[in-house]
Chains A and B, each alone.
Chain A
C-alpha cells in the first residue's frame, strides 16, 4: 500500500466502494497529497452529501460528516461557524452540488464563507444508476434523458464566480499535480473556494456520455476537451476551460463578520442570548 494512503486512509474500511478505474480515488489521493504538503492533518474536517463522490472523505482518518443529499454545504457552514479554527473541505458530486444542493451553493458562495468545495463532476448521477444531472452535456442519452438531454449544462465554476465565490478553479483527473496544488491553494485561501474536477465514471457516464468505458480513454478525452486560458489567447471553440479561473482576496469573509458582530455585542460564542 502506498505510504501516504496508509497514513490518511482507514484501512479497515477498504476496499473503497468505487468501481475499478473510478476517478473518485484519484481525487481522493490528490487531496491527501495536498494535506501532506500543507502538513495540517489535525486542523482538517470534511463534510459531504450523498453520491459515490460523497464517499471520498469517508475513508479519511479525520473528522468527517457524511450528511444528506444536497445538504453538505449547510452542515459545513454550521460547522465552520461553530469551529472557525477548522479548515473544512466539502466533497460533493455534480448532482449533489448543482441539482438538489444548487441553492445552498449560491448562498454559500455569496457569503464568501471560508470553505473549500471540491465538486466532482462526472456529468451524471453515478450512485443511483446513471440519471441526467445539471452538468450532463446537451444531447447525452441517460436513463432520464432517453431522447438526449434537452438542457444546456450548468457550469458550476461560472455560477460560483458570479455568485461571489473568491477562489475558483477547474482541473481533471488527468491533471493530478495541478489538482493537488489547487486543493492546497483552495484550503489556504480565506474565503469560499470552489474546485471542479472532471472525473471519470466509467460505469455510468462512460459508454452513455463519452462512448468509452475505459478509464484511461476517458481521462485522455478530458485532456483533449479542455484548455488552459492564457491572457490574450483565442478561445478554442467547444472546449472547457481548466486552470485557476478566479482568485480575489478583496472580499470580506463571512465567519469573521459574524464573530466581529458577536464581539461588538459582547456575546461569547456558544452563549445563548435570551
Chain B
C-alpha cells in the first residue's frame, strides 16, 4: 500500500492528478483546500505503481507518494 498525501495548503484543485494517474487513484472530493477549491482524495492505494507522475505533474508540489514499511519489504 502506498502512503499518498495531498497537502491542502499547496493544492489548488486543478484536477491534473485526477486525469494523469494510470491507476485513477485520485478522485474528486467535497474537501476544500486552503485555496478555496475542491481538492482530490486518494483512494484504492493498493493499486499504486509508484510511477511518480502525480508528483511530477502536480504544479503545486502538493502530492507525496511514499512506500509504506510493508511495501518496502516486498
Binding site for B on A (CB under 8 A): 1-6, 9, 14-16, 18-26, 28-30, 33, 173, 176-177, 180, 214-216, 219
Chain A: minimal CB distance from B38 (Å): 11
Known: A2-B55, A20-B37. A216 touches B16 (CB 8 A): yes
A6 to B30 alpha-carbon distance, docked (Å): 26
Known: A20-B37, A216-B20. A2 touches B58 (CB 8 A): yes
Contact at B12–A30, with CB atoms within 8 Å? no
The reply to whether the CB of B15 lies closer than 8 angstroms to some CB of chain A is: yes
Chain A: minimal CB distance from B66 (Å): 8
In the complex, 16 of the A-B residue pairs with CB atoms within 8 angstroms, ordered by the A residue number, are A1-B10, A1-B62, A2-B61, A3-B64, A9-B61, A15-B10, A16-B60, A18-B60, A20-B13, A21-B14, A21-B15, A26-B57, A28-B59, A30-B56, A173-B57, A215-B16
Residues of A within 8 A of B41 (CB): none
The reply to whether the CB of B35 lies closer than 8 angstroms to some CB of chain A is: yes
Residues of B within 8 A of A2 (CB): 7, 55, 58, 61-64
Contact at A20–B56, with CB atoms within 8 Å? no
Known: A1-B62, A2-B61, A15-B35. A29 touches B10 (CB 8 A): no
Q: Which residue of B lies closest to A32 (CB)?
A: B61
The reply to whether the CB of B68 lies closer than 8 angstroms to some CB of chain A is: no
Q: Which of B7, B34, B56 contacts A176 (CB 8 A)?
A: B56
The reply to whether the CB of B27 lies closer than 8 angstroms to some CB of chain A is: no
Q: Which residue of B lies closest to A30 (CB)?
A: B56
A24 to B12 alpha-carbon distance, docked (Å): 14
A contact patch SS: helix
Contact at B59–A1, with CB atoms within 8 Å? no
A16 to B58 alpha-carbon distance, docked (Å): 13
Chain A: minimal CB distance from B44 (Å): 20
Of residues 12 through 29 on chain B, the ones whose CB sits less than 8 Å from some CB of chain A are 12-16, 19-20
Known: A15-B12, A25-B58, A30-B56. A20 touches B35 (CB 8 A): yes
What sequence of 0s and 1s flags, for each residue 37-72 of chain B, a beta carbon within 8 Å of any chain A beta carbon?
Answer: 100000000000000010111111111100000000
Chain A: minimal CB distance from B60 (Å): 5
Residues of B within 8 A of A14 (CB): 9-10
Residues of B within 8 A of A28 (CB): 59
Q: Which of B12, B19, B60, B64 has the most CB of A within 10 A?
A: B60
Chain B: minimal CB distance from A44 (Å): 18
Q: Which residue of A lies closest to B5 (CB)?
A: A1
Residues of B within 8 A of A5 (CB): 10, 61
Chain B: minimal CB distance from A11 (Å): 9
A43 to B50 alpha-carbon distance, docked (Å): 30
